Amino acid sequence: MTRPTGADMRRGPFRAGDRVQLTDPKGRLHTITLEAGKEFHTHRGHLRHDDVIGAPDGTVVRHTSGADYLALRPLLSDFVLSMPRGAQVVYPKDAGQIVTYADIFPGATVVEAGVGSGALSLSLLRAVGEQGRLLSFERREDFADIARANARAFFGLDHPAWTVTVGDLVDALPEAVEPGTVDRVVLDMLAPWDCLGVVADALAPGGVLICYVATTTQLSRVAEAAKAAGGWTPPQAWESMNRGWHLEGLAVRPEHRMHGHTGFLVTLRRLAPDTDAHLRRSRPAPGAYGEDYVPASGDWSAADLGERPVSDKKLRRTRRDAQGTADRVTGMATEGEEEG
Ligand SMILES: C[S@@+](CC[C@H](N)C(=O)[O-])C[C@H]1O[C@@H](n2cnc3c(N)ncnc32)[C@H](O)[C@@H]1O
């Protein structure tokens, strides 16, 4: 029986080509890709990759300074936070919610846009598995390259369920899928309301659309656009907050720092054709659409929503880093298989 893609990279003693997360005595994290004969240097000395290769996961390795470093394989949630990024990534807490509340199942046909750095794509690929299909769309070629390299580094090969198309979802989706054949759609982009029409055509009746947006203004606009278009269940929106806890003897309390905001999620389900009129909708609260209400319109830029642009120079470096890591992982992984 063939094992699920990437499973072999997540088990057993450390091998050359594995990514390893080292935790130093101060709790700082360093991610390395193991190569025979190489050293990991800090300003106090170094640690030999050869001391890690062959050791079990969860090993403690001695640095030449005398400090002990804990070596662990990064989990998916560690990987996405340490991988090279072009665009802002979906954080693991939100990726988990997306997989669950959009009901991403093994074998599903899922459409995703945009791809950005590919963080969410990794969770979606794990959820659909080899028998599913993830059709991802990204309008920037440089981001698509970074995402592909990150996924290759994570899975050790190009995932068989994944297709990345460079282009705008509005133009590319109708070309890529037959109407009514997609089970789930996940949108993480500035203007998801622009894509509602093509998504409505692509989704099967009962299919789920989930949008991840950073601001309440986007949340309101996509919800109102779907209501105005019809053919959808009423949108359901929420946000989630993760507050870590400090655990030390009797000092059991919330951590002092937390990530206060990542994004909002909104889900809708596609109705069967011509059923919209039969859906009973609750009357809007008085004033919700009163004379102060102005429907959002016009084109919004990332800067309008407070996003900082990433320089071309940084993106070129990120793309090189991502491809370098992917080449090291896949090159070594192939050697490892041949030896085995
Ligand atoms: C925030 S990033 C996505 C991050 C990604 N979900 C991750 O976890 O790494 C948003 C991306 O959407 C892309 N994008 C925006 N509108 C698009 C559209 N209509 N079609 C395709 N891609 C789009 C942008 O180029 C950008 O890379």
**Three-class SS of 60-116:** EEECCCCCEEEEECCCHHHHHHHCCCCCCCCCHHHHHHHHHHCCCCCCCEEEEECCC
Q: Does residue 288 form part of some domain?
A: no
The CA 91 to ligand 1 mean position distance, Å, reads 14
For residue 76, how far is the Cα from the chain centroid? 10
Count CB neighbours of 88 within 10 A. Answer: 17
Name the residue type at position 312: D
Which pLDDT score is estimated for 340? 26
Question: Could you identify the atom of ligand 1 that is nearest to the CA of residue 194?
Answer: 19
* Shortest-distance atom of ligand 1 to CA 143: 27
Nearest CA to ligand 1 atom 24: 114
Output the residue whose Cα is nearest ligand 1's atom 26: 116
Render each residue's pLDDT in the chain as its tens digit; 340 residues. 678 899 999 999 999 999 999 999 999 999 999 999 999 999 999 999 999 999 999 999 999 999 999 999 999 999 999 999 988 999 999 999 999 999 999 999 999 999 999 999 999 999 999 999 999 999 999 999 999 999 999 999 999 999 999 999 999 999 999 999 999 999 999 999 999 999 999 999 999 999 999 999 999 999 999 999 999 999 999 999 999 999 999 999 999 999 999 999 999 999 999 887 667 777 888 888 888 888 888 888 888 888 877 888 889 899 998 998 898 888 755 544 433 2
Q: Do 105 and 224 belong together in one domain?
A: yes
Amino acid at 137: F
Residue whose Cα lies nearest atom 12 of ligand 1: it is: 114
CATH code of the domain covering residue 14: 3.10.330.20
Residue where a domain stops, chosen among 49, 74, 99? 74
Residue 285, pLDDT score: 85
**How much is the pLDDT for 332?**
56
Asked if residue 209 is part of any domain, the answer here is yes
Q: At what angle do helices 141-155 and 312-339 cross, to 10 degrees?
A: 30
Asked if residue 122 and residue 32 are part of one domain, the reply reads no
Shortest-distance Cα residue to atom 16 of ligand 1: 189
* Same domain membership, residue 147 and residue 108: yes
Give a yes or no: residue 283 inside a domain: no
Burial-class residue 325 by CB neighbours within 10 Å (0-12, 13-18, 19+): buried
Q: How many domains does the chain have?
A: 2
Buried b (16+ CB within 10 A) or exposed e, 39-57: ebebeeeebbbebbbeeee
pLDDT given for residue 277 in this prediction: 67
Q: Which of 219, 232, 214, 222 is nearest to 268 (CA)?
A: 232
Based on the domain organization, do 13 and 108 belong to the same domain?
A: no
Whether 100 and 231 share a structural domain: yes
Atom number of ligand 1 nearest to Cα 147: 9
Please name the helix (run of DSSP H) or strand (run of DSSP E) that holds residue 124, with its range, or none. helix 119-128
Same domain, 7 and 114: no
Residue 198 belongs to domain spanning: 78-275
Ligand 1 neighbourhood includes 307 CB (under 6 angstroms): no
| Cβ pair 147, 137 in contact under 8 A | no
Tell me, using a 6 A CB cutoff, whether residue 143 lines ligand 1: yes
Q: For residue 338, what pLDDT is reported? A: 36
Stated pTM of the model = 0.93
Q: How much distance in Å is there from the Cα of 10 to the middle of ligand 1?
A: 28
Cis omega before residue 118 (within 30°)? no
Index of the ligand 1 atom closest to the CA of residue 172: 20
Which among 97, 189, 215 is the best mutation to test ligand 1's pocket, defined by most ligand atoms within 8 Å of the CB? 189
pLDDT of residue 191: 97
Residue 114: inside a domain: yes
Q: How far is the CA of 279 from the centre of ligand 1 (A)?
A: 32
